[in-house]
Amino acid sequence: MRQHTHPFVPYRPERYDEAETIRRGKDFVSFLDRRRSVRFFSDEPVPRACVDLAIAAANTAPSGAHCQPWKFAVIGDAGTKRRIRVAAEEEERVNYEGGRLPPEWRAALARLETTSDKGYLEVVPWIVVCFAEKSTALPDSSLRKNYYVNESVGIACGFFIAALHAMGLSTLTHTPNPMGFLTEICERPGNERPYILFPVGYAAADCEVPDLARKSVAEATAEPPGRLKV
């Protein structure tokens, strides 16, 4: 029997026969493949409990040394949403109209037809901003360094998106650059930095998304060692 210095508990995840394993995998891929990023939202109310459930799902994500270096700021009042929209559009106008985006990036964005207009930030019932914690404040006011912060927070945000999709909700990974205004508006401390802004709500009845195709599994799979193309 293994000897541990710290507490451990048994873990026995469910297992299925081969056919059921593959079926469940196919169902999950089909479910996720129906998810799309949305820029046209309904103003229909969404219960706060739905947002909390998505955060609970994000909170199950693996993280470096189990530091869980994330905070999710939830904004539902119109005044704060307005402040976020105004600040985001100010930065985006510099990006789109002011030439801060390099030509290659603008060319890549062309098929999405995105602009500096972020009106959906005032339409959605909720804005959720994920902050990455470079360090975490402890009860004694000291700071604990966190590890693999970008990787950990990225995985948590993926879980958050999947949970919203499971509830029939839509979102968008909005990353206005720079995002320092979110630290001020959300009144977050200096050990945190804005990571992703998520508008959360139902897709509008007349919502449209770009006609895009995802990579095939073959395109997303790396060649085995020794078979790299040169």
Q: Is 93 exposed, middle or buried (0-12, 13-18, 19+ CB in 10 A)?
A: middle
CATH class of domain segment(s) 37-204? alpha beta
Give me the tens of pLDDT residue by residue for the chain, a chain 230 residues long: 789 999 999 999 999 999 999 999 999 999 999 999 999 999 999 999 999 999 999 999 999 999 999 999 999 999 999 999 999 999 999 988 888 889 998 899 999 999 999 999 999 999 999 999 999 988 998 999 999 999 999 999 999 999 999 999 999 999 988 899 999 999 999 999 999 999 999 999 999 999 999 999 999 999 888 766 65
Q: Hey, where are the domains in the chain?
A: 37-204
CA dist list (Å): 200 to 39, 55, 63, 121, 192: 10, 12, 24, 9, 22
- Lay out the sheet containing 70-75: strands in order across: 70-75, 126-133, 192-201, 170-171
